[in-house]
Amino acid sequence: MHGSLPRLATSPTHALAADLTARARIRNAALDLFTEHGADRVGLRDVARLARVSAGLVQHHFGTKDGLRAACDDYALGEITRIKEQVLEGEVDNPAFLADMQPELLRLYRYVARSMIDGSPGATALFDQAVAGTQQWLIENVPDISDFHAFAALMVAMEIGLLAMHRQLSQALGADVRSPEGNLLLTRVKSEFYSTPLLSKKFARQARSSIDAVLDGYHVAERRKNQRNRTRRQRRERVHDER
C-alpha cells in the first residue's frame, strides 16, 4: 500500500527544501520516491508527505501521478543535458565543477535508470525522449554518422545498461558507481572508451557492406513471399467467383 512506504532519510535536497518553490519540493520528493520504490508503488499522498505539502497542492501543480512523472522525466533529462553541455563547453577542465555536480547528477541518473527499466509506458516515453535529445546532439556535433536515430538509441541503451549493471561494474572498478568516486571512475573509463576507435574505417565499411547485402537478401525474400501470398489469394478469389 502507498501509505506503508518507509520514510526516506533527510537528504541535502530536502534539507534545502525551504529555499525551493512548492512545485520544486514536490518534484524533488517524487524523484526520490520514484527512484527508491518505483512509480507504481508511490501515490500522490506519499509525495505530499515527503514534500510537506497537502495532496491537494500536488494535484493543483501536476494533476495526476502521470503528470507528475512526466514533469520528473522532463526535469531529469533537462538537467542531465544541461550538466553535460557545461562539461562539453569547458567545465571538463574544472575539477571543482566535476566534484560539485556529482551528487545531483547521480541522483538524476538513478531516477532515469529506475524509470527506464520498470517496463511501463512512461519508461518507453522517457527512452524515446532521451534518444531524441541524443540524436539532435549527434546531428549538431557528429555529422558523418549514417543513421543518427539508431546511433542515438544505442548510446542511450548503453548508458542505461551501465546503471542497470551497477553491482557488476562496481565490483570490477572497486568502487560503487552510484557514489561520486565510483561514478567519476566510470566516467574516466567512458571518456577513453568513446575516444578510442576499436575498428578501422576499412573494416567498418566492409562490415556494413556485407550486412547491407544480407539485409537486402532478407528484403527480397520477404517481397517474394508476399507476392506468392498475393498470387495464391487472387487465385482463390477467382475460383470462388467462378463458382
For residues 106-129, give the mean pLDDT.
82
Sorted by where each begins, the domain ranges of the chain are: 2-164, 200-243
What is the predicted pLDDT for the residue at 91?
Answer: 84
Give CA–CA dist 68/79, Å, rounded.
Answer: 16
Chain centroid to CA 134: 10
CATH class as words, domain 2-164: mainly alpha
Instruction: Please check the confidence at residue 34 and state whether its pLDDT lies above 70.
Output: yes
User: Residue 241 burial (CB < 10 Å; 0-12/13-18/19+)?
Assistant: exposed
As a whole number of angstroms, the distance between CA 33 and CA 114 comes to 11
What does the pLDDT average to over 32-40?
A: 91
Q: What pLDDT score was predicted for residue 130?
A: 87
Give 38's DSSP letter. Answer: -
Question: H helices within the chain, ranges in order?
Answer: 12-15, 22-37, 44-51, 55-62, 65-88, 95-100, 102-116, 121-141, 148-164, 166-173, 180-195, 201-242
User: Alpha carbon of 104 to those of 32, 100, 117, 157, 160: distances in Å?
Assistant: 11, 8, 20, 21, 17
pLDDT the model gives residue 231 = 66
Q: What was the pLDDT predicted at 129?
A: 86
So what's the pLDDT on residue 12?
41
| Cβ atoms of 148 and 138 closer than 8 Å | yes
Whether pTM exceeds 0.85:
no
Mean pLDDT of the chain: 84
Q: What CA–CA distance (Å, rounded) separates 129 from 175? A: 30
Task: Please report, as a single letter, which amino acid is at residue 164.
Answer: A
Q: Which three cell numbers stand for residue 126?
A: 522517457
For the segment 59-106, what is each residue's pLDDT rounded down to a tens digit?
999 999 999 999 998 899 889 888 888 888 888 888 888 888 888 888
Q: What's CA 60's distance to the chain center, in Å? A: 28
Identify the sign of the CA torsion 220, 226, 229, 233: negative
DSSP for 66-125 reads HHHHHHHHHHHHHHHHHHHHHHHTTGGG-HHHHHHTHHHHHHHHHHHHHHHTS-SHHHHH
Q: Residue 61: which of 25, 36, 102, 97 has the closest Cα?
A: 25
Render pLDDT for 150-195 as a digit per residue (tens, 0 to 9).
999 999 999 888 888 899 999 999 999 989 899 999 999 999 999 9
Q: How far apart are CA 158 and CA 136, in angstroms?
A: 18
pLDDT digits 0-9 by tens, 183-239: 999 999 999 999 999 999 999 999 999 999 998 888 877 777 777 777 667 666 665
The three-state secondary structure class of 176 is coil
